Amino acid sequence: MKILLTGATGYIGKRLLPILVAQGHDIICCVRDKNRFYVPEIFEQKVQVIEVDFLDKNTLSSIPLDIDAAFYLIHSMSGPDTNYDELESTSASNFTQRINQTLAQQILYLSGIVNDKSLSKHLASRKNVENILAKSTVPLTTLRAGIIVGSGSASFEIIRDLVNKIPVMITPKWLNTKCQPIAINDVLEFLSKSLLNPVTYNQSFDIGGPDILTYKEMLLAFADAQKLKRYIFTIPVMTPKLSSYWLYFVTSTSYKLATALVSSMKVEVICKDHRINELLNVKPMTYKEALSRALLKVGENNVVSSWKDSLVSGRFSTNMSEYLKVPKKGCYIDRRKKEIEDRDFTINKIWSIGGESGWYYGDWLWSLRGFIDKLFGGVGSRRGRTNRNDIHSGDALDFWRVLYANKQEGKLILYAEMKLPGEAWLEFKIIHNTLYQAATFKPKGILGKLYWYSVLPFHGFIFNGMLNKLIK
């Protein structure tokens, strides 16, 4: 079957793709920018990548007419736009118009549990998208999930950050709100088993694990799984804004995502029924089992996808191809080069940079820069990286975004997503037996020029020290 996969670069889409390929389907992946979508060689025969912007009707003509089904996995709540609900509505409307012209037999949509009369903005937006998709002439299957637990999921990473960093937490009362978490593996099983399954047509289902827990109980269970002693006290005085800032500074989440999550955490998200479990013969795992599996993936450095690699986790919002050619005109450039002793050693060091490995020299200064960025509303350096040894175009890497990564060529280009009075690139490339390293800054106005000269004294030992560590 020919399956359309929207949101292919997202947390769910990246994990669903190999499952669909293994089932023998031909997949059409919709992405806004081909440059930031990596397709493993073993999938190339079964995967076609097309560029589609669902906010631009004209681009939807690239969607083939002979598709059999379509997954709609587009969400925008953590993006830079405060009117994300309007954007989601427009995207859904444009998608519906195009899907009606195809031969598709089914639309599958992953939404949020919405069984409370008082919905947050983001849950109300999800429900509105569902209503728009339901108006299509193509049968709709909606799966509604609450907290998704899996390595790299926003919920899991926030819980991990809170538990690992804070032994005693003074928290808002919404930590006593109940929810029904579900493992990412179970979400993927529900999605794949619903595909072209007539018993799911024109229906919506709540999906969740067997446990109904408060957010406080979820945090304490994570602490128990990590064999950590944690104390949590809830107080009724933390406002939503203060709660959002609390999550933003303590965890790796963006402020926009923190705000959306806090507003949603006041609402109970519990499944109405579990009839889909019997319909599809799925037995969801417990929260404890989901945690155990997620922690195992993290420990094995085998995280398939992370919410942090989505472009909406930073300030980068345009096509990466526009930034691939590092500018020179009107830029300040710190260039350095050094002969390498062992090409493989240097390549592996470059491909492991950032995250837990650090930046090899002056790490405390990199951390300080990340902290300052957080203070000014930037992404900071807490995003880390998804995989300790492997990176691809589009990945988040601390406060950088990977623009280009070709290990065989020995070339890596990073673009700064931190708050800056200008734009910055960091480039590594190996030519013959020489490593070239360049830090490029394109200032905006007098503030940009002042910024460059203020950090220039640190460049000498930071970049020189890093270059030496990449060689030896």
Parent domain of 431: 317-471
b/e per residue 26-47 (b: at least 16 CB within 10 A): ebbbbbbbebbbebeeebeebb
Spatial distance between the Cα atoms of 328 and 334, rounded to a whole number of angstroms = 11
Residues 196-239 pLDDT 10s: 999 999 999 999 999 999 999 999 999 999 999 999 988 876 67
Name the CA radius of gyration of the chain, rounded: 23
Q: Could you tell me if 390 and 352 are in contact, meaning their C-beta atoms sit under 8 angstroms apart? A: no
Domain count, the chain: 2
Q: How far are the Cα atoms of 17, 113, 366, 444 from residue 335, in angstroms, in the given order?
A: 40, 52, 19, 21
pLDDT at 173: 80
Of residues 78 and 123, which shows the higher confidence score?
123
Q: What's the longest Cα–Cα distance across the chain?
A: 66
Q: How far are the Cα atoms of 330, 345, 378, 414, 416 from residue 406, in angstroms, in the given order?
A: 27, 15, 28, 12, 19
pLDDT at 17: 94
299-310 mean pLDDT: 73
pLDDT at 243: 73
Residues 306-364 pLDDT 10s: 776 765 555 555 566 667 789 889 999 999 999 998 999 999 999 999 988 899 998 88
Do 422 and 279 have their domain in common? no
Q: Could you tell me if 197 and 259 are in contact, meaning their C-beta atoms sit under 8 angstroms apart? A: no
Do 297 and 331 have their domain in common? no
Of residues 338 and 301, which shows the higher confidence score?
338
CATH number, residue 191:
3.40.50.720
pLDDT above 90 for 246: no
Please state whether the predicted TM-score (pTM) of the whole model is above 0.85: no
Do 162 and 266 have their domain in common? yes
Confidence of residue 140 (pLDDT cuts 50, 70, 90): very high
Do 76 and 6 have their domain in common? yes
Confidence of residue 43 (pLDDT cuts 50, 70, 90): confident
Do 356 and 430 have their domain in common? yes
Do 299 and 377 have their domain in common? no
Do 167 and 200 have their domain in common? yes
Here the tokens at position 467 are 């270059």
Spatial distance between the Cα atoms of 116 and 414, rounded to a whole number of angstroms = 43
pLDDT at 110: 95
Catalogue the E-assigned strands of 65-221.
Answer: 69-72, 107-112, 140-145, 148-149, 168-172, 178-179, 182-183, 203-207, 213-214
Among residues 351, 399, 391, the alpha carbon closest in space to that of 375 is found at: 399
What is the residue-wise DSSP string for 357-375? Answer: GTTSS-HHHHHHHHHHHHH
Angle between the N-to-C axes of helices 215-225 and 154-165, in degrees from 0 to 180, rounded to the nearest 10:
70
pLDDT at 331: 94
Confidence of residue 240 (pLDDT cuts 50, 70, 90): low
Q: Which of 259, 276, 308 is the last residue of a domain?
A: 308
